[in-house]
Structure 1
Amino acid sequence: MVEHFKSKINYLQTLLPEGLLAPTSWLEERGYSRSLLAGYVKRGWLASPAHGVYRRPGAPLKWQHAVYSLSRILGGSVHVGGLTALELRGYAHFLKPRGLAQVELYLDAKPPGWLAKLGLAERFVAHRNTLFAFPVTAMHEPPPPAYALRQEVNGVAAEPWGAWDDPLPVALPERAMLEFLDEVPRNQSLEHAALLMQGLHDLGSRRVLELLGACRSVKVKRLFLALAARQQFQWVKPVLAAADRGEVTLGRGKRSLAKGGKLDPKYQITVPDESDARG
């Protein structure tokens, strides 16, 4: 029995690299029964940070382990986006200097229940991947690291993380800003959006237009363009010119987001007063 345990645990070290999390169902599909897993935990060969999920003992568990596990082990489209992605890429540090309190996670399906029970300092906020007309290709079978770290799929790129430079899927700033605007005014403010836009000096106009073309929300597209029009960044002019040519579908009618702003006459959407946005 002991030899059986050791043989299976040796294979598990290959199947489950250090730091990754795996649910019971995934391990059962690969020949590891619940009783066998319980035996591994009892002997200290596995750890169970939450009911129904396992990992190899090692470095302290971090939120990045959970995200990478979802993308690598569990499959399905998942990435860090919205405000979290902007923070990680250095575009929101002047607004929120004390580190992450929550992680904005975008998925194609409902997240597993154990994700909220890992005892992490950060709280996961799950969003469905419905803002864009294309899905984000899953990164659960990454190519060799040198290629994976340069991979971009629909505004999401793999960023190196951890001792082994594991590819962590994080939205690029163009997509992250659109995701943030989708939360206005429900969970984010117009004023916060205006301040963030002031820091997006190095966006790519081609990527912005591709994402605007795929974006399903008229509100998000109009708000993005209205806020961008206030900036003098190099990428803004070609984006606005393309919108003027009708290359971005903006719908009809006015869009009022919240009280306290003013209506942008061109894009017909409520935006913060410029003096308020400057603080």
Structure 2
Amino acid sequence: MVDTAWLERHGVSRFLARKYVVNGWLERVNRGVFRRPVPNATTSGAIDWKTCLLSMQHMMGYDIHVGGTTALTQQGYDHYLRLGSSAPVGVYGNTTPNWLSKLSLNAPIVTRSTSLFVDTSVGLAKNNINDENALPWDWTLKMSAPERAVMEVMDELPDHESFHNLDRVFESLTTLRPRILSALLHSCKKIKVKRLFFVFADRHDHPWRKRLDPAEFNLGSGDRALVKGGKIHPRYRIMVPGEFVTAETRDGA
């Protein structure tokens, strides 16, 4: 898939693009978006969201990545996350085009900015998604590594994600890399996310937790309200559901 801007950069004017559509050399997907005609296309017309995002990353040059819940799901941490091909896809970027939300894709797109981190490239990886739904053309899809993705999900708490679901996912994050976590925590702009990270990290006490000292990071000062009817965490001074205080494990530091 390509858009009008890409075509014009390669010498194909809007008028010429219309001629290509008339002659069957291009297919108009939506206003300003085209692709080569697809042989034996299904009648549904729905486009695989991976094909769309790969085209945006590799062809059109948009600085976007798959993040949050979607990145965790695609990397195998999906036991307690929303399942199914039609689950919302989290796309992070500051220059997402207007036409993205208007495409007929096989999953809805939810866009987010990359403002959570000072260094917008920290914690990103390219992933081939080794499952039965292999990526087209053997291209790699840029997405958040698990270390970044879990912090992006924390930024969604409590309005767009569940403490319970994230808690069960965090239980399986036994192999996170302390070096990447440290870089992300230093780059993270939100005190809320950094405090929540250590709440979950102390609760599950994975081996990598001992490599991170909360005192090395700016966790701010004063109490922070987050959920109604919760309790203030005694160490990290943020209001969380009661079970995250009463059932907390020993400090992993």
Shared fold per TM-score greater than 0.5: yes
Long gaps (5+) in structure 2: 42-46, 129-133, 248-253
SS at match of 2:10: coil
State whether structure 2 residue 81 is matched by structure 1 residue 108. no
Shift of 1:92: 2.1
Partner in structure 2 of residue 25 of structure 1: 5
> Counterparts of 1:151-170 in structure 2 under 5 Å?
154-160=122-128, 162-170=135-143
Contact 1:86–1:177 (8 Å) recurs in 2: yes
Partner in structure 2 of residue 123 of structure 1: 108
State whether structure 2 residue 145 is matched by structure 1 residue 176. no
SS at match of 1:229: helix
Q: What is the CA–CA distance in structure 2 between the aligned matches of 1:277 and 1:170, rounded to whole Å?
A: 35
Over 3 Å counting, the alpha-carbon distance change for 1:91 and 1:192 in structure 2 is same
Deviations 1:88-109 (A, max 9, x none): 1111233334344111011022
Shift of 1:164: 2.5
Q: Which runs of 4+ in 1 moved over 6 A?
A: 275-278
Shift of 1:69: 2.0
Partner in structure 2 of residue 4 of structure 1: none
Whichever residue aligns with residue 86 of structure 1, its letter is L
Q: What is the CA–CA distance in structure 2 between the aligned matches of 1:132 and 1:54, rounded to whole Å?
A: 33
> Counterparts of 1:124-273 in structure 2 under 5 Å?
124-136=109-121, 154-160=122-128, 162-239=135-212, 242-243=213-214, 246-273=215-242
Q: What is the CA–CA distance in structure 2 between the aligned matches of 1:158 and 1:277, rounded to whole Å?
A: 39
| Cα RMSD, aligned residues only | 2.1
Range 120-129 or range 68-77, more displaced: 68-77
Partner in structure 1 of residue 250 of structure 2: none
Q: What is the CA–CA distance in structure 1 between the aligned matches of 2:223 and 2:37, rounded to whole Å?
A: 55
Shift of 1:77: 2.3
Shift of 1:135: 2.4
Shift of 1:76: 4.1
Over 3 Å counting, the alpha-carbon distance change for 1:271 and 1:180 in structure 2 is same
Contact 1:158–1:167 (8 Å) recurs in 2: yes
Shift of 1:172: 0.5
TM-score (norm 1): 0.78
SS at match of 2:151: helix
SS at match of 1:184: coil
Shift of 1:218: 0.3
Shift of 1:189: 2.8
Shift of 1:277: 11
Shift of 1:34: 1.8
Q: What is the CA–CA distance in structure 2 between the aligned matches of 1:223 and 1:90, rounded to whole Å?
A: 22
Shift of 1:82: 0.4
Identical positions, percent: 38
SS at match of 2:169: helix
Q: Count the aligned residue pairs.
A: 236
Long gaps (5+) in structure 1: 1-20, 137-153
TM-score (norm 2): 0.86
Q: What is the CA–CA distance in structure 2 between the aligned matches of 1:132 and 1:224, rounded to whole Å?
A: 14
Range 73-82 or range 219-228, more displaced: 73-82
Q: What is the CA–CA distance in structure 2 between the aligned matches of 1:155 and 1:36, rounded to whole Å?
A: 41
Contact 2:72–2:149 (8 Å) recurs in 1: yes
Q: What is the CA–CA distance in structure 2 between the aligned matches of 1:24 and 1:122, rounded to whole Å?
A: 23
Shift of 1:234: 1.0
Contact 1:195–1:277 (8 Å) recurs in 2: no
Q: What is the CA–CA distance in structure 1 between the aligned matches of 2:86 and 2:246, rounded to whole Å?
A: 23
Partner in structure 2 of residue 85 of structure 1: 71
